[in-house]
Amino acid sequence: MPLLPPPRPARALLAAGALAAVLTGCTPAVTVDPAENAADPGCAPAMLAMPETIGEHEQRETTSQATTAYGEPTAVVVRCGVTPPGPTTDPCSSVNDVDWLIRQGGADGEDGDTWTATTYGRDPAVEVVFDSTAVSSSTLLVELGSAVEQIPADRQCLDLQDAAEGL
């Protein structure tokens, strides 16, 4: 008796399973240390709303709660649950109603093309470390804005003139 090929739906399911195995095997999870307050329930809505891509960089799996990464090699790492920054004289930019403190250098203090953006006025805060040669800050902050807005703002950046008028 000749062997018959599996029915068409079973073949499609087998092909999809094989493709998924190949795709997941190509991109290992990015090792990311969790933020100190990664278990804060306020992170969940923001992390679930993270975009699938930033610029041309696809979202990747990470090893820690309340984190995500983009690009191969990694161009962007997002961590929710970092300690919200207090009042500061650091430069602050408002992008689509989300305030960000932006500084050169990564979480490890390295400089060069690595930059860090941290939300201001939101608790928990979101920290984004990115390679400025791989993705522009304007693209990054615009594309993360709607996800970060899931964490309500309770403060906003003020420029020096606004702060002086409030005295």
Identify the DSSP state of 157.
Answer: -
In a domain, 12, yes or no: no
Residue 18 in domain: no
How does pLDDT run along the chain (167 residues), one tens digit per residue? 555 555 544 443 333 343 344 444 567 899 999 999 999 999 999 999 999 999 999 999 999 999 999 999 999 999 999 999 998 888 999 999 999 999 998 655 566 899 999 999 999 999 999 999 999 999 999 999 999 999 999 999 986 555 555 54
pLDDT for the residue 158: 83
Residue 17 lies in a domain: no
pTM (2 decimals)? Answer: 0.79
Q: Please, what is the Cα angle at 103 between 69 and 73, to 5 degrees?
A: 25
Residue 8 lies in a domain: no
The pLDDT value given to residue 44 = 98
The answer to whether position 150 is within a domain reads: yes
Task: With respect to residue 13, please indicate whether it lies within any of the assigned structural domains.
Answer: no
- Whole-number Å distance between alpha carbons of 40 and 138: 27
> Per the domain annotation, does 10 fall within a domain?
no
Total domain count, the chain = 1
**What range defines the domain where residue 161 resides?**
29-165
pLDDT at position 90, please? 87
Residue 39 lies in a domain: yes
Contacts of 55 (CB under 8 A, 6+ apart): 134, 135, 136, 139, 140, 143
Residues 31, 62: Cα–Cα separation, whole Å:
6
